[in-house]
Amino acid sequence: MSQGSSFEQAFGRPADASGSAPGRVNLIGEHTDYNGGAVLPAALERRTEVWLARSEPPVISIVSTRFEHKIERPVGDPKRGDWTDYAMGALAKASELGWLTGGACLYIDSDVPDGAGVSSSAALITAILRAVATIADVDVTPVDIAKHARAVENDYIGMPCGIMDQMAVGLADQGKALALDTSDLSYDIIDIPTDWRFVVLHSGIRRELADGRYKARFEECSAAAAALGTETLCRLTPAQIAAVATLPENLRKRTTHVVSEHQRTVAASAAMRAGDLATFAQLMNESHRSYSEDFEASTPEIDALIKDALEVGALGARLTGGGFGGCLVALIAAQDSAAFVDTFLARHEAVWRV
């Protein structure tokens, strides 16, 4: 049965439109997006697909292939702290934009894992906004969709994220990376060399961006930027760099990470364009050390997994995503990737490939 047919079975009518978006893995460039720096994400094969129809009653009816029961919430319902908030926020933004009036029926099918650091929320919000834009017959660019999707997370969900995830799921294609400058949203699509393999592995440690630790890091970066008199912590003047030493230790360490991570990401983009596998891998390893020691967003368990991945055969490996759990990404020469995955998974029962 097609998912379009599943929508009709669930709601007794055909869908008006559909939309989809992939998950993403961030190859390098962590917590630089809200600090005006560079990021380098890539699309995953896993996708979120939605089917949507307008409905007259002011009710949002949601069916997901991951859950058994239909969920109904009134239009305008504030966030409740569960997964349907992301759908409600996307539809509220669509209503605010004039793309949708009244209620809606929504059917969701996704194999993008949540709590894994691969942008399941951005994929869902983006897919919904794309579907509603189709219904409303509005001409909207992928960048505008990304801006609206970020606003949903910032304003409705209350998550102070940058715009990397939304741009990545809206612009990246399989086998390509998005070299994005978040200071002005300029970007370049880079072909990932065919003899490289990025393997995404879930650590087995679920993390929630809404649990407060991501927000704490955001606030520390904001405090450091205010103390240094800048709006882009990744791009400091020589005088501001000299002043970093005067910051409290936690702010000094956060600043050290985002400044160096921006520089690593710019260098990594150049290495990918040049097909320089060794340099890219080294930059990934330096990135994880900084993420763990300076940004303090890793865990001892994940640090141990990273160390073991390198011992098993990865050339570069790092924690990816917002931190404190979720996925690691490993870079392996293409001909060695299958053996690496088999060996690594055999050594770690809780780990699974995304």
* C-beta of residue 125 within 8 angstroms of C-beta of residue 86: yes
Length of the chain: 354
- Spatial separation of the C-alpha atoms in residues 31 and 262, rounded to whole Å: 9
Q: Which of 173, 196, 186 is nearest to 41 (CA)?
A: 173
Q: Is 184 known to be catalytic?
A: no
Q: Which of 109, 165, 181, 294 is catalytic?
A: 165
- Report, as residue numbers or ranges, the catalytic residues: 165
